[in-house]
Amino acid sequence: MTDAAHGPLIGRDRLWHPPAYTAGYKTSVTRAPSRALVAMGSTLSEETGPAFGRDMLGEMDNNLILNFTGQPAVGERIIMHGRVLDENARPVPNVLVEIWHANAGGRYRHKKDGYLAPLDPNFGGCGRTVSNAEGRYEFLTIRPGAYPWPNGVNHWRPMHIHISVFGHGFGQRLITQMYFEGDPLIARCPIVNTIPSQEAISALIAPLDMNASIPLDCLAYKFDIVLRGRRQTFFENRREGM
Amino acid sequence: MPQKLDQLRESPSQTAGPYVHIGLTPNALGNHGIYPDDLGTTPIKPGARGEAITIIGHVRDGAGMILRDALIESWQADAAGLYPSPNERRGKADPNVTGWARILADFDTGDWVLKTIKPGAVTLPQGGVMAPHIALWIVARGINIGLQTRIYFEDEAEANADCPVLARIEHKPRVQTLLAKKVSTGQYRFNIVLQGDDETVFFDM
């Protein structure tokens, strides 16, 4: 039996993920490889990966309400929490989770974002943490606003938080986005709809989690992240000649 | 009905979007004050063993435009071919090699630069030797799922010829797209083409 940090990675299900070419999301049209991917089993280059210790984290790194200026950012206060798991449903401990998102008005702190909504002088827009021994992570932040973007004439991004996650192998590297339960813009979003199935889209929608909310303080949303797993049979690791 | 498999599905990927630098390299963007330093500014520390090399490249799309918003992560072995990873079981890697970097396309020119040491060949536990290479993972607006590719070196012809990964590429002329071209001693050029006739080989592994 292998553990969550060793062994060959389970192949990606490319029909579950968005394909590279998605006409509805226009920027993908010229950025999508047109040749077939060269597929083969993972090697040590994918099975190993960088490690990040909790000692590199600052005290406020996972508190996006306070980590920019020390004064609170404007918006609906929320906890975002969940577990990093693998496809074998095992926790993935000690991995770096990074997030970034727009402010409560739907504006990013980025020179290329010229949306009408103003910057919040106290919101930087990013946070990071390292999953604990049970794979758990949490952030305190504000709920980001929806915003328009120039894909179609009147396309809007639903409220979302970008998430970057490491596994224990470089081949597990994943970036995705978390959406909020009940947002009517989810079904209308061309980026959401790059995902082929409703079942897969649902995996990116965080439910409101009243049990984790703090009375008179903040609401909570639960978002579990699933990374590629590793094959687990004993025979995988048989010695030569067995 | 058969038994249920107690398995989960990988979280579906979504594009990193145009604002990925806010999250992953805020200081490079000019958003100072959150983290003292960005992560992955270099894959080596002073004293790293091996040949110091610089690789310069860009990422080009199917319309011939150079991306100025691409973010690339690199992962490599040390000069002896060992990975600086907790799950490397073949030996202890050079403590001055972290192996991992975040490389940004220049916001104006689109050129990216990786200063590192040339990795060693990687002997696989199941047999076979992978030629010296650097694994890359490329994300940007318009890329729905991170693209996996590798930098090999044109001056490692013998090792490249025996590499089991390069051997999997059926259309042999396309192997050229994975070879960093030597410009001068220690200097290489590696352009990535997302789409088109000279499209880079991307992997699913």
Summarised one tens digit per residue, pLDDT across range A80-101 is 999 999 999 999 999 999 999 9
Segment A208-235 shows an average pLDDT of: 93
Which of B15, B86, B195 lies at the smallest CB-CB distance from A30?
B195
In the three-class reduction of DSSP (H, G, I as helix; E, B as strand; rest coil), residue B155 is classed as coil
Shortest CB distance from B75 goes to which of A45, A108, A110?
A45
Q: What is the pLDDT of residue A5?
A: 79
* Regions of chain B where pLDDT drops below 70: none
pLDDT beyond 90 at A238: no
- CB contact under 8 Å between A40 and B165, yes or no, is yes
Q: Determine how many CB atoms are found less than 10 A away from the CB of residue A179.
A: 23
Q: Which is nearest to A46 in space by CA: A70, A94, A3, A11?
A: A11
> What pLDDT is attached to residue A6?
84
pLDDT of residue A4: 72
- 3-state DSSP assignment of residue A128: strand
Do the Cβ atoms of B6 and A89 come within 8 Å? yes
**Two structure tokens written together for A104:** 């409560």
Residue B6 three-state SS? coil
Q: What is the mean pLDDT of chain A?
A: 95
Rounded Cα gap, residues A226 and A239, in angstroms? 31
Given pLDDT bands bounded at 50, 70 and 90, which one contains residue A1?
very low
Which positions in chain A touch B84 (Cβ < 8 Å)? 50
**How far does Cα A164 stand from its chain's mean position?**
5
Task: Find tokens 């989770």 and name the residue.
Answer: A97
Query: Mean pLDDT across the stretch A47-61?
Result: 96
- Residue that wins the pLDDT comparison between B81 and A240: B81
Closest CA to B118 of B99, B95, B105: B99
* CA–CA distance, A93 with A167 (Å, rounded to integer): 9
Distance linking the first and last C-alpha atoms of chain B:
32
Q: Do B8 and A86 touch (CB under 8 A)?
A: yes
Reported ipTM? 0.97
Active-site option among A6, A12, A162, A188: A162
- Does the pLDDT at position A236 exceed 80? no
Q: Which amino acid is at B144?
A: N
Q: Do the Cβ atoms of B54 and B119 come closer than 8 Å?
A: no
**A188 Cβ neighbours under 8 A, 6+ residues apart:** A155, A156, A158
Assigned token pair, A155 = 């396309």
Mean pLDDT of A19-27: 98
pLDDT tops 80 at residue A235: no
CATH superfamily of B42-193: Aromatic compound dioxygenase (2.60.130.10)
Bridge partners of A49, per DSSP, are: none
In this complex, the residue of A31, A88, A168 whose CB is nearest that of residue B140 is: A31
Q: Would you state the pLDDT for residue B132?
A: 98
A212: three-class secondary structure by DSSP: helix
Instruction: Say what the pLDDT of residue A224 is.
Output: 98
Confirm whether A25 is a catalytic residue. no
Q: What is the tens place of the pLDDT at every residue in A131-171?
A: 999 999 999 999 999 999 999 999 999 999 999 999 999 99
Whole-Å CA distances, A108 to A147, A237, B3, B197: 10, 48, 47, 36
**Scanning every residue of chain A, which has its alpha carbon at the shortest distance from the alpha carbon of B7?**
A88
**Would you state the pLDDT for residue B125?**
84
Q: Classify domain A28-234 by CATH architecture.
A: Sandwich (2.60)
Distance CA A178, CA A156 (A): 15
Distances (CA, A) of B1 to A43, A88, A133, A240: 36, 21, 36, 38
CA distance B180 to B110: 18
Reported as a single tens digit per residue, the pLDDT across B1-60 is 999 998 999 999 999 999 999 999 999 999 999 999 999 999 999 999 999 999 999 999
Query: How far is it, in rounded angstroms, from Cα B165 to Cα A38?
Result: 9
Q: How far is CA A144 from CA A64, A84, A158, A161, A178, in A?
A: 11, 22, 9, 7, 11
Distance separating alpha carbons of residues A85 and B8, to the nearest angstrom: 9
Report residue A191 CA to chain centroid gap. Answer: 14
Inspect the interface and report whether the beta carbons of B144 and A22 lie closer than 8 Å: yes
Distance of CA A75 to the CA centre of its chain: 21
* Type of residue found at B78: D
The least confident of A5-9, A95-99, A103-107, B5-9 is A5-9
